Amino acid sequence: MEAINGLLLIGMLIFTANFVFVLAHVESSTDRTSNQILKLERTFPTNEVGLQNMKFRDHKRHSKILEGNTIGILNFSLNGASDPSLAGLYYTKIRLGSPPQEFNVDFDTGSDDLWINCKPCVGCPRLSQLGIELNLFDPAISYSAKPLTCLDKECPTYHQCANKNRSCRLSLNYGDGSLASGYYLTDMLQFDTILGPSNLTANSSARVIFGCSTHDEGLISQEGRAIDGIFGFGRRESSVISQLSSRRITPRIFSHCLRGDGGGVLVIGEIRHAAMVYSPLVTSNTDHYNINLQSISVDGHKLSINQNVFITSESQGTFVDSGTTLSYLATEAYYPLMEALTNAISGHATPFILNGQQCYKLSTSGIKLFPQVTFNFAGGASMLLMAKDYLFNYSLQDGISSMCIGFQRSNFASMTILGDLVLKDKIVVYDLAHQRIGWVEYNCKKN
């Protein structure tokens, strides 16, 4: 097992070809802990989709945001491309049941539940353009499966049950318009444990609550994005990370490092780095990963933006969301930033609008003309973005390379969403134990 170069992994769970939890001893100068790791892959449909379709999916996702001593690390190896003109997702393999059945599930920080498509199912996809084999979970062949009823207080919808004798119902609506419905059950999540520095392995398992979907609708049922289910990593008690951390099997912390050229690693647990900076999570009025953005600078010059636009409330704030491809800025922040970027390269590039996106005709070397952008957050933490962090090559115009700005004006005037485009080539840590998010520039190719 290889760790990330130059980093201290506080526990590890590594996923390679299979879903694998890894318990490994990692020593620091102050403590000694047993730890864990997990594997995630990223893929894209074989067909390229339009920018408008991608923005539509992001828009639907963001509308839902408005509604709504042995501890280790899970490490996911990521594959795929980072081109935002392709609709992609991150997925990992998991093993559920006894004997174990294997599934590919979408990793999602914007939702909480783990659910799998189950037999029998109406509307569940049978084919996928992602290059993966689709499967349906069969509770009948798992001797450890136990359906939950409304009498069970561990039922996630216990307080919504009108008839306590009925099954514990699953009904999930996602931001892209997708729907999964069925029932909840408990079964064994299978994983492998590495014991100490010897790297000897032993089979282990833990009983978890998850959803059995018997009816799918929307994008999750379409071949272009078809997957076996979704693995939610949200902040609520129903998420698997909350279930396992409450029993001290895994930590209440996870991290990712997305490569700029595609792929990377996702880690459940803490990655410590000397240069890591942190900003406090907003703990009120939200179940999402919300931090306080305070100002934006271009080449060190603070933009004139009314700070009230960054104040967190039920209808506005700044969210970190790995499920969003581009990044979306509150209206009052978007226009000053676009003006500053355009002024900085005036005379060196020809601006034009492509499908509502601000783009520029310029040579490949012209990317060096774009200025640095800095997001400044509560707690003194800043996120420095070079041109490569917010530009992408969308298409060719007249044989000349076209670079487009990855920032979009938010469909919800005062909402700011930091998506994959600005999160790549950084270690990002979601520290639920200390209610903070951290990040540091890092060459994710070293993973």
Q: Which of 133, 325, 114 is nearest to 227 (CA)?
A: 133
Q: Which residues pair with 33 in a beta bridge?
A: 26
As given in the structure block, the two tokens for residue 365 are 């070397």
- pLDDT of amino acid 41: 52
Tell me which of 31-40, 258-267, 315-324 is least confident: 31-40
- pLDDT of amino acid 333: 93
Q: Where are the alpha helices (DSSP H) in 316-361?
A: 331-344
Is 8-272's fold the same as 277-446's?
yes
Tell me which of 68-82, 208-222, 308-322, 341-355 is least confident: 68-82
Q: How confident is the model at residue 126 (pLDDT cuts 50, 70, 90)?
A: confident
261 or 415, greater pLDDT: 415
As given in the structure block, the two tokens for residue 398 are 């007249």
pLDDT over 70 percentage in the chain:
71
From the options 3.40.50.2000, 3.30.830.10, 2.40.70.10, 2.40.100.10, give the CATH code of 277-446. 2.40.70.10
Dist. CA 368–CA 359, nearest whole Å: 15
How big is the CA angle at 224 (ends 355 and 68), to the nearest 5 degrees? 75
- pLDDT of amino acid 224: 67
Phi and psi at residue 264, to the nearest 5°: 135, -150
- Look up tokens 């973005």; give the residue: 385
Specify the DSSP element, H or E, that contains 201: strand 200-217
Dist. CA 184–CA 159, nearest whole Å: 14
**Would you say 9 and 21 are in contact if contact means Cβ atoms under 8 Å apart?**
no
- pLDDT of amino acid 429: 94
Which of 9-18, 32-41, 89-98, 182-191 has the highest average model confidence (pLDDT)?
Answer: 182-191
Residue 372 pLDDT greater than 90, yes or no:
yes
Dist. CA 110–CA 293, nearest whole Å: 19
Catalytic, 321? Answer yes
Residue 272 pLDDT greater than 80, yes or no:
yes
Residue 286 pLDDT greater than 80, yes or no:
no
Dist. CA 220–CA 203, nearest whole Å: 32
> Within 10 Å of residue 169's Cβ, how many Cβ atoms?
17
Q: Domain segments of the chain: what residues?
A: 8-272, 277-446
Q: Which of 76, 420, 109, 111 is nearest to 260 (CA)?
A: 420
Q: For the whole model, what pTM was predicted?
A: 0.79
Q: How confident is the model at residue 117 (pLDDT cuts 50, 70, 90)?
A: very high
Q: Could you report the per-residue pLDDT of 377-393, keeping only the tens digit for each?
A: 999 999 999 988 888 87
Q: Which of 321, 434, 427, 324 is nearest to 383 (CA)?
A: 427
Which candidate in 106, 321, 389, 431 is catalytic? 321
Q: Which CATH superfamily is domain 8-272 in?
A: Acid Proteases (2.40.70.10)
Dist. CA 90–CA 225, nearest whole Å: 11
> Within 10 Å of residue 219's Cβ, how many Cβ atoms?
17
Tell me which of 116-120, 216-220, 296-300, 354-358 is least confident: 354-358
- pLDDT of amino acid 336: 95
Residue 194 pLDDT greater than 70, yes or no:
no
Residue 433 pLDDT greater than 80, yes or no:
yes
Residue 29 pLDDT greater than 70, yes or no:
no
Which candidate in 108, 112, 113, 192 is catalytic? 108
445 or 341, greater pLDDT: 341
**Would you say 214 and 248 are in contact if contact means Cβ atoms under 8 Å apart?**
no
- pLDDT of amino acid 304: 95
